[in-house]
Structure 1
């Protein structure tokens, strides 16, 4: 059965290549990575995830494609995103992992959700029901997310204008508050402040372009199906098997993000891709007709 999956995945390569070409034309790409146990590899391996758009057709901005592509690699090094992204020249939004920094032509964007989690870790040590310094940072971050909630469905232009007017002053307050704190750097609060200040230019970049999101949660949600699946199937036996998983997860999750009936779409894809000259353009999820 594993061999069948690998053989089927080979047929999907032209469609994957077409989806990748569209992904690299998007204004914003989000990325994430997660460990993958591959038995016939002698080093720690990873499944990388690159995505654009949103989780559903209704949530995407106009002219933005909902795409989620997995890429198996036996490394977590910078060479992996460099190889996948090539000459991509848009925004790359991540959790701040260093391998994504310094890519040519790419503008890095940070994730405020990761900063928020670190302040949440600090809050837990304050004791149940007690308030402290971490609450002040969390209150400001909550206001920033409140602005984003009100901007759902807004145009790119409106998102930028509202963020400049309402989010920028809150971000300035948060920055001033963090730089004025005298805390032990090794404490949870110290670590939260250090992370946030270290990521600051990337964290605030979202207010300058309405295409951008406040966080990298789209990528985290897109990689979650593999993380959940991994708890059941545990590992890949070979690199070929891991590549097959990357291929099929990409097709399935991109179809789901475009609101397709998965069974109908996969059947149509397999019939069309079996042809000598398949119509790849017709199989792109946003072109597919049930």
Structure 2
């Protein structure tokens, strides 16, 4: 990847469908998410199509799926497929993996193999879908190897559109996505690079507190149009967290075109914009040398 030729890095995009047509979530959960985001009938692009989309815009993108087999019973898209497909488009795509923490030692072995053999650059967790509290010691062996490997862990935080409107929320418990639970992880794994995904409604202040207090905790801005960002998030992005806030869209349910158009109208300092859109992510993902 020629980082100098990239104008932005989208740190939050989803591989929703495999090469053989298998979806990353069940149809019921997909349908709820589409309704929540008002993205009815949105296409589920292949990773090759995602690459073409971002290449056309001179952007890079982090790509991942969600492994929640234990809680949902739905087979995941293989991390190996995501990594190999991203490698075919290494000029624009950056592979993350998702390992269900309930897999225990098998998950730990897989994480080590994915980084060593497949070039995975980080890991995605969705505590509400995966059905675990981030500070559950059950997940600690997995965090330990991720910290050792020196790659980031991205945690969904706040409410989720997945399961919204389905009776019982499709079994998804929102409490697991409180960013204060990730604060414990930041304490117990002090060198682990962490990304808190999304404006963390209804726990926005908690997310800001954790990211301000813990030096290696970042926030991505995916999943919301910037015109709906809480004012305190904009204020912190402009000041105390200007080096720790990251552009993310949540593609394909939210496109970077829509996100960037609304971000252009946001009162962000000119010197901070390039940090959010590219520079902070480039440093976190090891795409540029740091002091």
Q: Same fold (TM over 0.5)?
A: no
Pick the structure with greater CA Rg.
1
Determine which structure has greater relative contact order: mean sequence separation of CA pairs < 8 Å that are 6+ residues apart, divided by chain length: 1
Task: Give TM-score, length-normalised by structure 1.
Answer: 0.29
Higher helix share: 1
